């Protein structure tokens, strides 16, 4: 079968399987094995599949994923999310929209120990949404701020999406983590500015709160933040001081989260057991997707798809900047019908060689990809974060949640433009560390 026919047929088959509800990892593995078999024969394709599974299971580099997942699970079970919201609410409650500000800031801080957007949105939503509803916040602002704030969880290090990007492209995970700090803080600021603008345009969206419940007092605020700061410094500081490799840092982070939870008397044997079970389930899902990604990437390489895509882009005679803009638009379109993991897995093996041939920094491109994926998390029709928040806040119509995240989508687009226009925002810290 001609490559020009085979490759589109494989992609169409994959999308059909996903539409029918097939698991992403299994769907990619199936179409990749069949596609590879049509190129090199089924015996070779099956041998390649077996070797890929074997090497993935034994890869020391991949052990970083379950360890970071475990750290985030321990942190979540320890109630760190509630502590962060309480602390930021103590500092920000006197501003109009203070609870929305606190939700966004707490999402960013929780992302420093979690690494998952969905987990950040779901965890913080359970803490923040009841408070905002109790104080009369509009459904749009309450749900929109938490759904958007949750996206920061995959930008602030450690990030599971960055880990996968680093593995797929052989880019330094440590550099990716460091590169995400400034954009993550800036995006948090952009979202908080968005809250200010929304509340000025509609003062009824958020009342001004001058008093806090009795358990909120400024003297206790830092005591609720220190576990997150300690874990962040342990992981990121350990990597860049040369004390730990990323994998070792993930291990120390997981142990640190466990020790903190036990010392705070918030983790008992039952919660520890639940954390281990949840981590195994999440890790198994990620590994299954990664194995599918490895097989699919092998198929794309054998078919010459990256080279064909490169020739197509060159044939358009676009400038490097316009090429990046085109890739961003394609990502936004992909986000309309693919989840974030599928976007990364399917697109990076195709776009990465093109971007590298134009001389761009792989770390910079990784952060740009994460930002565009964040946008997909809150835009229709997929908008997974929106559906997560809708599930928590059943009394707010889905249409209102999507309207609530719209201003934050604009802020995220502004952040994407800033990163493209000023790559130093991303590359400054990695270059400083190296």
Per-residue model confidence (pLDDT) at position 369 = 94
What confidence tens digit (pLDDT) does each residue in 84-140 have?
A: 888 887 777 777 888 899 999 998 988 888 777 877 888 888 888 888 888 888 989
Per-residue model confidence (pLDDT) at position 219 = 53
Number of domains observed in the structure of the chain: 1
Alpha carbon of 389 to those of 103, 140, 160, 231: distances in Å? 13, 11, 21, 27
Are 342 and 24 in contact by the 8 Å Cβ rule? The answer is yes
Per-residue model confidence (pLDDT) at position 382 = 67
Q: Which domain holds residue 145?
A: 3-433
Does 395 have pLDDT greater than 60?
Answer: yes
CB atoms within 10 A of CB 209: 19
| Residues ≥6 apart with Cβ < 8 Å to 425 | 182, 183, 186, 418, 419
Give the mean pLDDT of the chain. Answer: 85
Structure tokens belonging to residue 237: 């500081």
What confidence tens digit (pLDDT) does each residue in 22-58 have?
A: 887 888 889 989 999 998 888 888 888 888 778 777 7
Please give the model's pTM, rounded to 2 decimal places.
0.82
For residue 157, the 8-state DSSP code is S
> What's the mean pLDDT in 296-312?
77
Per-residue model confidence (pLDDT) at position 198 = 93
For residue 243, the 8-state DSSP code is S
């Amino acid at each position: 079968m001609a490559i020009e026919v085979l490759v589109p047929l494989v992609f169409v088959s994959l999308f059909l399987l996903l539409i029918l509800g097939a698991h992403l990892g299994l769907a990619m593995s199936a179409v990749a094995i069949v596609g590879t078999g049509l190129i090199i024969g089924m015996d070779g394709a099956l041998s390649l599949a077996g070797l890929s599974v074997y090497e993935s299971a034994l890869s020391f580099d991949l052990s970083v994923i379950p360890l970071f997942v475990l750290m985030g699970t321990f942190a979540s079970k320890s109630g760190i999310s509630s502590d962060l919201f309480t602390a930021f609410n103590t500092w920000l409650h006197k501003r109009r929209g203070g609870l929305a500000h606190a939700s966004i800031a707490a999402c960013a801080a929780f992302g420093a120990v979690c690494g998952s957007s969905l987990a950040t949105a779901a965890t913080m939503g359970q803490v923040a949404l009841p408070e905002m509803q109790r104080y009369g916040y509009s459904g749009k602002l309450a749900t929109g701020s938490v759904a958007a704030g949750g996206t920061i969880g995959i930008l602030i290090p450690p990030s599971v999406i960055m880990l996968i990007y680093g593995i797929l492209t052989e880019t330094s995970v440590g550099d990716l983590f460091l590169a995400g700090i400034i954009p993550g803080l800036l995006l948090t600021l952009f979202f908080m500015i968005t809250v200010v603008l929304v509340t000025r345009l509609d003062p009824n969206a958020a009342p001004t709160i001058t008093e806090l419940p009795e358990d909120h007092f400024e003297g206790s605020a830092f005591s609720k933040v220190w576990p997150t700061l300690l874990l962040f410094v342990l992981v990121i500081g350990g990597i860049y001081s040369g004390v730990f490799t990323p994998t070792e840092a993930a291990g120390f982070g997981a142990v640190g989260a466990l020790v903190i939870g036990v010392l705070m008397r918030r983790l008992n044997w039952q919660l520890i057991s639940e954390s281990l079970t949840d981590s195994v389930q999440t890790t198994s899902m990620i590994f299954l997707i990664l194995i599918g990604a490895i097989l699919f990437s092998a198929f794309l390489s054998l078919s010459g798809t990256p080279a064909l895509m490169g020739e197509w882009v060159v044939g358009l005679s676009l400038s490097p900047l316009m090429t990046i803009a085109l890739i961003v638009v394609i990502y936004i379109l992909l986000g309309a019908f693919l989840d974030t993991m599928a976007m990364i897995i399917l697109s990076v093996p195709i776009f990465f060689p093109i971007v590298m041939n134009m001389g761009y920094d792989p770390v910079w491109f990784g952060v740009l990809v994460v930002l565009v994926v964040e946008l997909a998390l809150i835009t229709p029709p997929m908008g997974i974060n929106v559906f997560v928040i809708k599930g928590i806040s059943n009394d707010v119509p889905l249409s209102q949640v999507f309207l609530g995240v719209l201003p934050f989508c604009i802020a995220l687009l502004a952040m994407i433009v800033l990163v493209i226009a000023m790559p130093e925002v991303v590359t400054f810290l990695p270059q400083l560390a190296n």
